[in-house]
Chains A and B, each alone.
Chain A
Amino acid sequence: MSWDEFGECMRFMLLFSRQGKLRLQKWYLATSDKERKKMVRELMQVVLARKPKMCSFLEWRDLKVVYKRYASLYFCCAIEGQDNELITLELIHRYVELLDKYFGSVCELDIIFNFEKAYFILDEFLMGGDVQDTSKKSVLKAIEQADLLQEEDESPRSVLEEMGLA
């Protein structure tokens, strides 16, 4: 079914490194696992081949891809034809700001080692491919609350136990 008739939304968001390692993937339209892998591979190739200073938008398959590189990471969103490219670009930026605020000078390693947090932050910000709240405060407050809950939950554990050897 085409979603166009209901208004547009984001199809997926990908984070990958300059080396072509996928760091985060979020799909907003049911897509088979095989198809996802194919699309990721294809799109990474296209985006990585582009030079700096090129424009941040490109037509790819029947979608529009909006991407931006932050240090070693590419943030890449696929939207539909009528969607607003610039606001999508800023949506990426706002997500990066949220990560940055949360991790404190976020770097690729933060996202690798805390991938689940990167997902949680994204979920607070976007839902079903649509902006849920654009206020940095509101989004971070939600995450913060969760962290407080987490800290209350957890008692310190021994290293051995952590390694699964206890």
Chain B
Amino acid sequence: MPAVSKGDGMRGLAVFISDIRNCKSKEAEIKRINKELANIRSKFKGDKALDGYSKKKYVCKLLFIFLLGHDIDFGHMEAVNLLSSNKYTEKQIGYLFISVLVNSNSELIRLINNAIKNDLASRNPTFMCLALHCIANVGSREMGEAFAADIPRILVAGDSMDSVKQSAALCLLRLYKASPDLVPMGEWTARVVHLLNDQHMGVVTAAVSLITCLCKKNPDDFKTCISLAVSRLSRIVSSASTDLQDYTYYFVPAPWLSVKLLRLLQCYPPPEDAAVKGRLVECLETVLNKAQEPPKSKKVQHSNAKNAILFETISLIIHYDSEPNLLVRACNQLGQFLQHRETNLRYLALESMCTLASSEFSHEAVKTHIDTVINALKTERDVSVRQRAADLLYAMCDRSNAKQIVSEMLRYLETADYAIREEIVLKVAILAEKYAVDYSWYVDTILNLIRIAGDYVSEEVWYRVLQIVTNRDDVQGYAAKTVFEALQAPACHENMVKVGGYILGEFGNLIAGDPRSSPPVQFSLLHSKFHLCSVATRALLLSTYIKFINLFPETKATIQGVLRAGSQLRNADVELQQRAVEYLTLSSVASTDVLATVLEEMPPFPERESSILAKLKRKKGPGAASALDDGRRDPSSNDINGGVEPTPSTVSTPSPSADLLGLRAAPPPAAPPASAGAGNLLVDVFDGPAAQPSLGPTPEEAFLSESWERWGRGMRTGAHPGHPVPLPLPPRFVCKNNGVLFENQLLQIGVKSEFRQNLGRMYLFYGNKTSVQFQNFSPTVVHPGDLQTHILSGLGQPPTKRVAAQVDGGAQVQQVLNIECLRDFLTPPLLSVRFRYGGAPQALTLKLPVTINKFFQPTEMAAQDFFQRWKQLSLPQQEAQKIFKANHPMDAEVTKAKLLGFGSALLDNVDPNPENFVGAGIIQTKALQVGCLLRLEPNAQAQMYRLTLRTSKESVSRHLCELLAQQF
């Protein structure tokens, strides 16, 4: 083709464009344009009929003016006139103008549609293509209504030219996307699938896009395309680099078509037909193999096209997520790219690995690249690449590498680009929470976040740290100490003041013993920040101050002075003024007891989805946080507030209001002995009536908790009173008899127990961790309706001493329970402990570590006996089975110890597979004995277990299975 100067067809246009380019200023340009517009308008309005050429030229000028960014409000009619010209170039300009400048003037649309209709019917392929392009470019509903029925016909007509078929396929695709309801499905859909076999590669390329779209909406109707796509793909990837002639791009055969076919296959699960699947796997392997071959050209186009197919192949492998072999190969391939000199490849490898990280098969393989990824975060010069690296670190994070990743991200945050700081902050906050093993690390991390990037720490993040500190009493002292230190920095971020104010108000007492952080020091430190803070922060600090009056009576006078100051009492801000007035009055009129109740420590927060995670999802769209969400690849994950392995101290002392509600739902007091026969365990509460839980709050308590609630609402929305559910039994107590059952900052409860046959004895130790006496201390054993426990006091320990009404500061008291199992049972007995601390009523309820397996009698037997009994227990309801993911490392010795702790005998040489565990035992109750057989099959590769229990009693099988399954 000659390199003609194609533009000189319209010299006037060229002159005009030159003029515009020569304009020295915007004003000059506008002036020139206005002159031209006036000229064109007069031509269009003039009496002299314009010929096609002039019309084309002026329409083209208008188009140029429009594309410069100016508004065009005339010329549409002239453009429409051009559509019906029989000169190709005039028609072409007309269509271009319509495509770029169409408006929904219905009169005009009718005329345009008319012209299109004529062109579609013209049987001139060039005109037909122009018309199809116009429909696709405009893609409006009106056009869909007019043509959606015609285009499928053109697409599958035997006599349509290839170029027309190509345009028809993509035009139909466009209409289908815009208004799927307008495109009638029918006989053509079956034929469209067979375009995958078309001889003309261009037709296949265009058709695949349409088919992919149809598959997404109607996967079942288009299933036949899977095998066609696989064989087409197979032919391409196995062809030599020049076989496909013009469809070979820099020695890569048909890269666009390959990518599109691989995308099409991603609409479906792996092929069911073994032959098709085999062929496809072969294709995928070929692509992976080719990546290792030396390049056929040094041109970047060659490697880009080749790698485009490779990345799409990896996407398909990830989509299937079923071929561990391919996943690991993909991961290795991407690993090579992580160090490639092409920035683009490094970027894409990081991005693609992110999805691989969420597959259980490749998560570990991805983790091996952690150092390279961290290095990328530090050294990449392009922020987009660094961001991918941060995303990947987030995705590959689990308990094993959380500390390293979080610290690297924190370091990165110091120099991170402003645009992505907030996201990094959210990610760090989520990881720190999700993988915290010790919560002091979590607190340090969040405080570091505030220090490094305080402006980017959103409310969600600092609310969350408060929620967690409130719910985790093992970290409260540390948190108080740490915020106190952080606040000593001369310039600290306002978010730090908020967190510090809140935490000291709640837990400042925990560090008040140290003279360096005595109450007056704490107060003056906080108050030194007060005047520099916003209204919201000052309001929060005022609440801290009133809490200080309760925690530290010695600060009362100082704080009242501050509240009384004119700057507070007459503050222009109504919120500050109101708080000052109310708090001042409260501190003056309320008795110490009332104050203590009103200003009680905040109750634990109910667990919901982490607000930070929700925020990240909002930011990144659904799916962004899914890697963390599903927890599939992280069996050891432990939610901070009651995850799979709640520690006994997850819930702090319930507030008075929680207690109030609690009585409505809490277990009823010990049933009278008359009804004992109905239960499964016998209960006899030896204590006097004082030990019975009170039936309701005193009026005073009711009033106080109500006012507490009001105050709580005023102070902080979203604070809910804790729920009265008993604390869950830590799963480790199923297999263990001794340990710390509960601990918060006031009280520790330890347990020691022993069981023989259907009898048990349990020693409970109550330790007062404070320096203040507990009053009205009353631990009682209560039980859910279907359960009775037989409790007797130990010999030689008079009840009054055993459960002393007072427990001195630092002292420990002991209680002995004798337990007899009468029948099998499901729910452990409950221990309810109530006392007053510093005038405030405290109450908590927890489950005692008495589970049915405690009454296990191990039974040794030979393989033959075992199998005989196993067969005898073959009714479906006698068996309970669970298949579950390992929550702990799969160590055979640990497993053995747990099974023995569970109570059954372990039988060697029974299971033909030495990896499996088999056990037997008898549950001893007074009323009956239940024989139990169990089998545990670990699958180290899948990190799964299968547990099967067979007993003579359905409920026992199920319950034992539940209990035991939590252990692994």
In the bound complex, what is the Cα–Cα distance between A52 and B254 (angstroms)? 30
* Mask of A85-98 contacts with B, CB within 8 angstroms, 1/0: 11101110110000
With the chains together, A9 CA to B257 CA distance in Å?
A: 14
- Selected from B3, B10, B206, the residue in CB contact (under 8 A) with A133 is B206
**Contact present for A7 and B246 (CB under 8 Å):** no
Is A37's beta carbon under 8 Å from chain B? Answer: yes
Chain A: interface size category: 35 or more
Q: How far is the CA of A89 from the CA of B89 in the complex (A)?
A: 31
Contact residues on B (Cβ < 8 Å of other chain), bracket: 35 or more
Is B336 an interface position by the 8 A CB rule? no
CB distance from A148 to the nearest CB of B (A): 9
- List the B side residues contacting A149 at CB < 8 Å: 87-89, 126
Partner of B12, one of A8, A57, A102, A163: A163
Shortest distance in angstroms between A3's beta carbon and chain B's nearest beta carbon? Answer: 6
Q: Is the CB of A62 within 8 A of B621?
A: yes
CA–CA, A135 and B347, complex, Å: 29
Q: Given A93-B301, A132-B167 in contact, is the A7-B88 Cβ separation under 8 Å?
A: no
| Contact assessment for B247 and A57 in the assembled complex, using a CB-CB cutoff below 8 Å | no
Q: In chain A, what residue has the closest Cβ to B343? A: A55
Q: Which of A109-162 contact B (CB under 8 A)?
A: 110, 112-117, 119-120, 123, 127-128, 130-138, 140, 142, 144-147, 149-150, 153-154, 157, 159, 162
**A164 nearest CB neighbor, chain B only:** B12
Cα distance A142–B217 in the bound complex, in angstroms? 33
B64 touches A115 (CB 8 A): yes
Q: Return the CB mask of B343-357 against A: 1 if under 8 Å, else 0.
A: 110111000000000
Closest Cβ of chain B: how far from A155's Cβ, in Å? 9
Interface stretch among B75-83, B168-176, B544-552? B168-176
Chain A residues lying within 8 Å of B88, measured Cβ to Cβ, are 146, 149-150, 153
Specify which of B11, B60, B87, B176 is in contact with A116 (CB 8 Å cutoff). Answer: B60
Q: How far apart are B171's CB and chain A's nearest CB, in angstroms? A: 7
Pairwise interchain contact A90-B89, C-beta atoms closer than 8 A: no
Complex CA distance for A102 and B3, rounded to whole angstroms? 7
CB < 8 Å neighbour of A132 from B15, B53, B206, B217? B206
- Chain B 618-644: CB-based contact to A (< 8 A → 1; otherwise 0): 000100000000000000000000000
Q: Does the CB pair B136–A128 fall under 8 Å?
A: yes
Give chain B's interface secondary structure class: helix
The residue that B6 contacts in the complex, of A93, A117, A127, with Cβ under 8 A, is A117
Q: What distance in Å separates the Cβ of A52 from its nearest Cβ neighbour in chain B?
A: 11
Q: Mark B209-226, 1 if CB is under 8 A from A, else 0.
A: 100110011000000000
Q: Knowing A135-B246, A149-B89, A163-B15 touch, does A6 contact B216 (C-beta < 8 A)?
A: yes
A136 to B39, CA, bound (A): 40
A135 to B163, CA, bound (A): 12
Which residues of A are found within 8 Å of B347, using beta-carbon distances?
Answer: 55, 57
- CB pair A116 B256 closer than 8 Å: no
A20-46 CB mask vs B (1 if < 8 Å, else 0) is 001011000010000001000000000
Chain B residues whose CB sits within 8 angstroms of the CB of A84 once the complex forms: 259, 263, 308, 311-312
CA distance A140 to B234 in the complex (A): 29
Residues of B within 8 A of A135 (CB): 201-202, 246-247
Contact B177 A146 (CB under 8 A): no
Binds A, one of B380-388, B585-593, B670-678: B380-388
With a 10 A CB-CB cut-off, give which of A7, A53, A117 has the most chain B CB atoms: A7
Known: A120-B96, A132-B166. A104 touches B3 (CB 8 A): yes
Given A30-B139, A89-B304 in contact, is the A128-B171 Cβ separation under 8 Å? Answer: yes
Binary per-residue interface labels of chain B (245-269) against chain A in the complex, 1 for a CB within 8 Å, 0 otherwise: 0110100001111011001000000
Decide: A123 and B308 in contact? CB cutoff 8 A. no
**At the interface, yes or no: B305 with Cβ under 8 Å from chain A?**
yes
B192 an interface residue at 8 Å Cβ cutoff? no
Indicate if the CB atoms of B170 and A56 lie closer than 8 Å.
no
Q: Is A103 an interface residue (CB 8 A)?
A: yes
Tell me the nearest residue of chain B to A119, going by C-beta.
B96
B775 near A: Cβ within 8 Å? no
- Residues of chain B contacted by A87 (CB below 8 angstroms): 255-256, 259, 304-305, 308, 312
Assess the B15–A90 pair: CB atoms within 8 A.
no
What would 7 A/B residue contacts be, using CB atoms closer than 8 Å?
A: A7-B263, A57-B344, A116-B96, A130-B209, A133-B166, A134-B256, A164-B12
Nearest first, the 9 closest Cβ-Cβ pairs linking A and B are A104-B3, A86-B308, A162-B11, A128-B174, A133-B202, A87-B308, A149-B88, A55-B343, A127-B170
